[in-house]
Structure 1
Amino acid sequence: MTPKSRTGRLAAKAATGLAATAVLASGPLAASASSPDAGTAAQALPEVNMEAVLKAAQIDPQRPDQTLTDGAAPHVRKVERELADRGLLDREYVDGHYGTTTLKAYADYQRSLGYTGLAANGIPGKRSLTSLGDGTFDVTRVVSPGARTTFDGATFNQRTANMLREAQRLSGVTFDVEQGSYNPGGDPTSAGTHDGGGAVDLYVDGISPKKRTHVVRQLRKVGFAAWYRSPAQGDWGPHIHAVALADPDLSEPARAQTGDYYLGKNGLANDLPDDGPKVEPITTWEGYQRSP
């Protein structure tokens, strides 16, 4: 036989390809190829930054107006939309401001999940926020208090204990704990700030005023709202009081103090300006860990 010319071979190959295409077009693969979902990867869900939502949940209820917390409003709106869809929040409050109405609505949502006590404080925790966003948004920048542990003989969650150890290292002062966290009714003068997580009082006996200020500065640096408390301010002895920012286990009075701290106040009922050393920018434990 005489070999086919190059032109003839190419023509035959093209004809074979056209035939194969015709078979595919008429076969079962044709339907999937023409389907609008074919070859399209599942779209990622929107994200809700838990750190940002926690920041707004601390600050916004303490504001005298409807000012939005920088960087938090888009994430808060997603949370509020889900609360509204469940009939827990009126649509008019889906505005990115995590005020007292949103705080109450979120607490109602937590109770609908069977949570009680601190777990229904209106401050999003990882489990409740993940449940709220199921199929609607993904939770990022998760903040977890961790299991309960001890530091200097007092009870704290793991996150607060880690913060205290780091502030102790930075300050060069060995901390002497007067009162820890999760201590409801332990000290009536505390007005409930130590009922939940994140709160600590430190003795200052034998520490000079300059060193006291240094300790408060280091506590603030690692993510506490911290102040030196003098007997002139209330019915208590001299001590350093601190509350961990963004702790989901905060009691209501402790949450209010963290909001006041962000707003430049002293965290007391007299609502006076902050009297502690300025540490800027204000950061959380997670922000401190990410810093260079």
Structure 2
Amino acid sequence: MRRPLLAAGLAALCVAVGVPAHAWASTSGTAATPAVVNMEATVLAAQIDPRRADHTLTPGAKDSVLAVEQALEALNLLDPQWVDGYFGTTTVAAYAAYQSSLGYSGLAANGLPGATSLTKLGQSRFTVTNKIGPGAQVQRDGYVVDARAQAMLTAAERLLGYALTLEQGSYNPGGDPTSAGTHDGGGVVDISVTGMTAAKRTAVARALRKVGFAAWVRDPSQGDWPWHIHAAAINDTDLSSQAQHQIGDYYLGLNGLANRGPDDGPQVPIHTWEQYQRGQ
């Protein structure tokens, strides 16, 4: 799901949008002024862009993604035709290869830029702002979650005025096979709805969405599972590839299931945890 962009066209585009053409420094010999990469926007694009049927760029991410792609090209990890501000599957694969070159593996080489790898990539090329990360792994209701997801759950509970109970946590590879790998990484939880009315289930999903989760009420007609609420934290850099796809689908108005049906959850403005904290 990429579109080719000729090298000459890219150079002109970089000038037009005011992004330093770092990728051309090796051939031109000219010094480039370091760019600024917004990590929040870049990670978001890496979740949404691969799920698009077209090549629309993620708003606010173009300049940051271009700078990252130019750095990957300079390392011979990304062909110039893909240096276009679109963080699609080819760029995700190139970034994963870069992470692997640093000695990372597993979730640390999932193709989502992490703060450490992104900072290393940007040396002499760009500075990184709006850094984000999952934080330490902690226990909740007998399950493992990361600190960022825990903070998000606590914020949702404050909105609701009551506690939530997990029935599946994160970092659970080989767990419930019906989860299709979404819980293999961080940022993803299933919440018990035992004793909840339909209205209360919807209220919980709405609160989770408000604080930055892609959240849906799941019912037995959709799969081989009982009623529950599935929630994936947007921009959690420990997300498994399957959970990354759910986030992208959520932004595109889909239900996060394999059938890619329309979103059936409560409609709220979509934003990340960091945006919620800033009051955006």
Length-normalised TM-score, structure 1: 0.84
Q: Is the 8 A contact 1:118 1:249 kept in 2?
A: yes
Give the unaligned 5+ runs of structure 1: 1-42
1:256 aligns with 2:245: yes
For the residues of structure 2 that align with 1:165 and 1:148, how far apart are their CA atoms?
15
Deviation at 1:45, TM superposition (A): 3.1
Residue number in structure 2 paired with 1:291: 279
1:227 aligns with 2:212: no
For the residues of structure 1 that align with 2:130 and 2:140, how far apart are their CA atoms?
26
Length-normalised TM-score, structure 2: 0.87
Deviation at 1:58, TM superposition (A): 0.6
Q: Is the 8 A contact 2:255 2:262 kept in 1?
A: yes
Q: 1:162 aligns with which of 116, 132, 151?
A: 151
Q: Is the 8 A contact 2:134 2:237 kept in 1?
A: yes
- Alignment length, in residue pairs? 249
Deviation at 1:122, TM superposition (A): 0.3
For the residues of structure 1 that align with 2:122 and 2:49, how far apart are their CA atoms?
22
Deviation at 1:80, TM superposition (A): 0.2
Residue number in structure 2 paired with 1:270: 259
Q: Is the 8 A contact 1:173 1:215 kept in 2?
A: no
The runs of at least 4 aligned residues of structure 1 exceeding 3 Å deviation read: none
Percent identity over the alignment is: 60
Residue number in structure 2 paired with 1:134: 123
The alignment partner of 2:139 has SS state of: strand
Q: Is the 8 A contact 2:235 2:272 kept in 1?
A: yes
Residue number in structure 2 paired with 1:188: 177
Cα RMSD, aligned residues only: 1.1
Aligned residue runs from structure 1 range 29-44, under 5 A = none
For the structure 1 residues 238 and 269, does the alpha-carbon distance in structure 2 shift closer, same or farther, using more than 3 Å as the test?
Answer: same
Q: Is the 8 A contact 1:229 1:241 kept in 2?
A: yes
Residue number in structure 1 paired with 2:96: 107
Aligned residue runs from structure 1 range 1-292, under 5 A = 45-280=34-269, 282-291=270-279
Q: Is the 8 A contact 2:33 2:125 kept in 1?
A: no
Higher gyration radius (CA): 1
Deviation at 1:154, TM superposition (A): 1.2
Deviation at 1:172, TM superposition (A): 2.0
